[in-house]
Amino acid sequence: MSTGTTTAPPGAPARLPSRLVGSIAFGTLLQALNSSMIAVALVGIRTDFHAGADASWLVSALYLATAVGAPTMGRLADLIGPRRVFLAGLLLVAVASVAAPFAPTLGVLIGCRVLLGLGTAAQYPAGIAMVRMAAARGAPPGAGATGRAPRGVRAASALGILSVCSQTAVAFGPTLGGALVGGFGWQSIFLVNLPFVAIGAVCVGRWGPAGTPRATHRPAGAAALRRLDPAGLALFAATMTALMLFLLSLASAPRWWLLPVVLALGAALVGHELRAAEPFLDVRLLGRNRALTGTYLRTALTYVAFYAIFYGVPSWLEQGRGLSAAGAGLVVLPIAGLGVFMTLVATRLVRTRGPRLPLLFGSLGLLVGGVVLATVVHAATPVLALLAVSAVLGLPNGFNNMGNQTSMYAAAPADATGAASGLYRTSQYVGANLAAALIELLSAGVAPDTGLHRLGVAVAGIAAVLLLGSLRRRR
């Protein structure tokens, strides 16, 4: 029976319209930009609101909201359609971006960042779900009639484009934020979201695939809410919030009482989801699908190492090497810059060899980088040599990102791609907060060089575990 869509010729890889992939990528820039631009605005915000350490919640609030919001938005994308969720997320971003510059208190501004986190949490899982839907529906009408492969972007290349855009935004977010804050004040880092929102909404609204992964069954209203499993969602949100608060506290004053709270909430979540007819978090699937569960664990570990480098090295450059903030930023630029370039290489490798080889290269490169930090770098290391070290540290990023992202995409069920992509985002933020705690643990009370060398040993240890897992991983 005809479904009203066409498919690519037999044996030809599905290709996606470039304008669709570009539209999705444009929307996913928002999360990376808003995560990185805030770093250069904190001083001005502290001054205007006469705030101290409480201003750091502007960073933590976004991470918390995204960690909880990403799988929620992904699940909604699977139920009511990814294009709707993508556009709804852009609307939340627009509301938060307009309200934030007029916030009367720091608490209201933090609330705007929470809303911003929920909005930006929608773009990645909904975008990945749209990529899978478009790939499943095949080529545009008439493409298969000639027998030639349809023009456009392969699904693997689409994942690479999303990864490149995200890394580019992270790399240049502080630079863009610095220019905006210097010229127009901290309020401008919120208002700059509006052109991205407008362009993304118009493009995705026009070219994004309509419907749901199961086009014949799209619940609405109360039916969609029941299928979302609100009790499971509430337990998941409570568990993740307690976990993230505990991880964030490890960097300063550990709140150990949160640990039993996390365990109790987690046990309640698992118990409820095992009984639910349509669980928010399908724990049975995670138990059966070891490839998907393993990808989440590997991603969390990878991001512990990545953020340990991304945050730890600039701090050492200022405290141990004596560079200015601007100088430190220039020295670490190759970490993000090489990551962008290697993503392009990894994308081609994934298309021809699958994700295993990129993961091997990424783990090996991370191991070499950790050993270099632990043994070679010290306070007297010349700046040119530090630039070379940054390049070494940047090489594995593209391989690891593409390998993990492609593994998740391949292992996720077709009708649950949104939820699976949301949990992938959550695993990244868990890794980021573990990295913050790790940096504080290894650097507290010791000389800067000693702290950096300890960090290198930790990164090398994590990389060795990742390398062993990649070697044992089946193609």
Pair (294, 179) in one structural domain = no
Same domain, 244 and 364: no
- pLDDT score, position 8: 39
75 lies in some domain: yes
Identify which has the larger pLDDT, 4 or 288.
288
| Contacts for 246 with CB less than 8 Å, ≥ 6 apart | 254, 255, 258, 259, 262
Closest CA to 334 of 460, 169, 174, 171: 171
Residue 106: what residue type?
L
Pair (66, 163) in one structural domain = yes
pTM for this one? 0.74
Residue 133: CATH number of its domain: 1.20.1250.20
CB 250 within 8 A of CB 435: no
Question: How far apart are the C-alpha atoms of 75 and 374, rounded to whole Å?
Answer: 42
Q: Does 270 share its domain with 325?
A: no
- In this predicted model, what pLDDT tens digit does every residue of 329-356 receive, in sequence order? 678 778 777 777 887 888 888 878 888 8
* pLDDT computed for residue 191 by the predictor: 92
In a shared domain, residues 342 and 382: yes
Q: CB neighbours (10 Å) of residue 93?
A: 30
Taking all residues of the chain, what is their mean pLDDT, rounded to a whole number?
80
Among 49, 329, 61, residue whose Cα is nearest residue 187: 49
DSSP 15: E
Q: How confident is the model at residue 142 (pLDDT cuts 50, 70, 90)?
A: very low
Tell me, yes or no, whether 36 and 134 share the same domain: yes
Q: Would you state the pLDDT for residue 151?
A: 54
Q: Please indicate, yes or no, whether residues 270 and 289 belong to a single structural domain of this protein.
A: no
Range of the domain at 196: 14-139+150-228
Q: Are residues 128 and 216 in the same domain?
A: yes
User: What's the confidence (pLDDT) of residue 3?
Assistant: 35
Task: Convert the pLDDT of each residue in 71-124 to its tens digit.
Answer: 888 888 888 888 899 999 999 999 999 999 999 999 999 999 999 999 998 888
The residues that bridge with 25 in the sheet, in sequence order, are none
pLDDT bucket at 224, cuts 50 / 70 / 90:
low
The pLDDT score that the predictor gives to residue 5 is 35
Helix (H, G, I), strand (E, B) or coil at 430: helix
Q: Is residue 298 part of a domain?
A: yes
Counting the structural domains of the chain, the total is 3
Report if residue 49 sits inside a domain: yes
Does residue 429 lie within any of the structural domains?
yes
The number of C-alpha atoms within 13 Å of 135 and in the hemisphere containing its C-beta is 22
